[in-house]
Amino acid sequence: MASLGTTAKTPRKKPLQARAQATVEALLEASAHILASAGYEALTTNHVAERAGVSIGSLYQYFPSKEAIIGELVDRHCDEMNRLFAEVFLASSHLSAPQLARAMVSAFYRSKCRNPALSRALREQLPRVKRLNRLEASLDQMTEVIAAYLTTQRPLLRVETPKQAAFYAVHLVEALCMASLRDPSALASPEAAVNEITDIVMRYLFP
C-alpha cells in the first residue's frame, strides 16, 4: 500500500466519452456487487477491476484511491435515501400524523429493499471508512427534519422534547427496518413489518 497520506484525493480524469462513463459505472457496479456478496475483505481493487471487465489501470484513471470508490458508493446510496425521504415527506406533509409516519417508514424500508445485501454491507461492513459518516449524517439530517415537524405537532404530542423524540424515532425506525431486512423469512411480510414499526413509533410519539 503506497502511503495513504499522500494519495491524491481528486480523480485523475473526468470521464468524458460514453465508454468512459460506462467504465465508471461498471466499476461502481462491480464494487457494489462484491461488497454485497463477498464482503469488504474481498473488495480489492484488482478484484473490482476484473469483475468490471476493465484493467486496473483504468480504475485508477477515474478513482484516485480505493477509498474514493467506496466513498462514491456511499454518496450515491445516501443521495438516493435523502431524495426519497424528502420526496415522501413533502408529498405526505398534508396527511395526518399516522399516515405520514407510515409513509415515511414505508419509504425508508423500501429504499433498503432495493438492494438489501448492499444496504447491509454499507451499514455493517464498512470499517470506519471516514466517508461512512455521511450515512450517519443523513440520519442526523432526517432527525432534524422530524424534530421540526414534531415541534409543529407539539399540542398533539405525548412527549415533551421533540428533538429527543425525533432522535429515538429515527434510530428506532432505522434499526428495526434493518433488522427486519436481515431476517424476512422468520417474520411477517414487508407490509406487516412496516405496519408494526409504524405502530411502535406512533405509540411512542402520540397518545
Partner DNA sequence: CTTGAATATGAGTAAACATTCGGTTTTTGT
Partner DNA sequence: ACAAAAACCGAATGTTTACTCATATTCAAG
Q: What are the CA-CA distances from residue 77 to residues 28, 183, 198, 205 (Å)? A: 12, 22, 23, 29
Rounded CA-CA distance 130/67 in Å is: 9
Residue of 97, 201, 82, 83 whose CA lies nearest to 141: 82
CA angle 24, 110, 174 (to 5 degrees): 100
Report the site for DNA in 21-40 (rule: CB under 7 A).
22-23
Are 59 and 48 a contacting pair, CB within 8 Å?
yes
Check binding of 187 to a second copy (CB under 8 A). yes
Check binding of 192 to DNA (CB under 7 A). no
Report the site for DNA in 65-104 (rule: CB under 7 A).
65-67
Check binding of 72 to a second copy (CB under 8 A). no
Q: For residue 41, give the DSSP letter.
A: G
Return the residue of 69, 70, 176, 194 that touches a second copy, per CB under 8 A: 176
Grid coordinates representing 106 are: 414505508
Grid coordinates representing 102 are: 407510515
Nearest to DNA of 17, 185 (CB atom) = 17
Return the residue of 30, 32, 34, 43 that touches DNA, per CB under 7 A: 43
Q: Which amino acid is at 20?
A: A
Grid coordinates representing 2 are: 503506497
Nearest to a second copy of 89, 167 (CB atom) = 167
- Kindly state the smallest distance separating residue 53's Cβ from DNA, in Å: 7
Check binding of 67 to a second copy (CB under 8 A). no
Check binding of 203 to a second copy (CB under 8 A). yes
Residue with cell 477509498: 67
Check binding of 191 to a second copy (CB under 8 A). no
Q: Which amino acid is at 67?
A: E
- Kindly state the smallest distance separating residue 14's Cβ from DNA, in Å: 7
What is the contact surface with a second copy in residues (CB under 8 A)? 39-41, 124-125, 127-128, 164, 167-168, 171-172, 174-176, 179, 186-188, 196-197, 199-200, 203-204
